[in-house]
A and B are shown apart, each in its own frame.
Chain A
Amino acid sequence: MYVRPKPPSDDKRFKQLMREMKRHGYARNSLIEVLHSAQEAFGYLEDEVMKFVALSLQLPLSKVYGVATFYSFFTLKPQGKHTCVVCTGTACYIKGADRIMESIENEYGIKDGDTTEDDELSLLSARCFGSCNLAPMAIIDGEVAGYLDEDKTLKWLKGVLYV
């Protein structure tokens, strides 16, 4: 008989994840919802988490991995202490989002999708936040930063990093 797997460790977040899966009745079609919760709890989708989800929902790991890698919202890499998500939508693009991106890349020596070696900053891009009137804009640690230019962006980052 099938027995639901025990959490791989006594990390409280696994308990939380189990509760979430139970709430969905361990339905296989709730996979995306479950991965959203997992990412929210753990910050990213590590192998152990994906394995646990696969076993719990009785799905092949390949399927879980397939879904996790299909959607750009999910990340399999740990994020830095701070995140900067630069919007690269059309309105931001024509107002110079690429220059903003470049200025951060040059300043911190990382590319879109990377994290600095000291885990301080992760640089990401988004397709469009629907905040086109603030173009060009970014979301820095959950806060909306609008009407950016290169200077303003770097200043903003200096204000939150290494403090």
Chain B
Amino acid sequence: MSVLLFRRFKDQIVTMSLRGILVGVLILSAGLLGILLLKSAPMISDFPLSKLIFSAAWNPWKGQFGLSAFIVASLGVAIIALIFASPVSLLAALYLSECANRRLRNALRLPIDILAGVPSVVFGLVGVIVIIPSVSILSRLCGRDTTGYSILSGGILLAIMIMPYILSLSLEVLLSLPAEAREAAIALGATRWETVRHVVLKRSVVGLVAAVVLGFARAFGETIAVMMVVGNVAKIPHSAFDPAYPLPALIANNFGELMSIPRFDSALFLAALVLMIIVGIFSLAAQAVLHHIGRI
């Protein structure tokens, strides 16, 4: 009897502590959001939101705080990064999980994971000496003459950074699929590609989308490495060769300086809030897509 009681007690303790931890995490996130809201409130109450978000006029000393150039820059580098990185990393992950033998797979897993964990400033340094000159040459080939500090450089750098990250995550997803799944299609005489297309991808799509979303969030929030190659000019870029100024770079470069300008810190908090909201919207959109797929 006492054993049973003790087991129940243990069970309850575990349940309650897990619940407690979850609540803790939620409180932390809510607190974070609360602080951002609180600090950006002066901005939001003084200016119409549409002006803050859709205006590109960023002249803090004149009291103009339009964030759209930064938002466009952030979206720009992240989307360029995603366009380069996600097909490559998903295909590489598919190759490793479906075609490569286990020796190759195991040999590559460690380097991929190490690459995924390299501090971004290292990527930034390499980016400055490799990507910048390359993009500069490329721009000349395209009939423009630029320094190479551009949204394209930022995007390429981010792509290289998040590639191992998405690859590593999606490989985990693909390898977690049970052998029976592939066997079921193979046993019917399906080719490897038919099996991938009709079974493997269908069963892994949730995880793969999650991997890409995490990659996007990482690219979108990346600060240092992007800052080093993107030029940091607060104007809406009109081509991939133009310099730009993403939100995280804005915050990191300016916080603590120019604080004498009224409302300046509030504007930076608003920038952080926008950053968070965009990542949130992207995750929600991904969930909606998955929900839609799940119903089919």
Bound pair (A, B): no
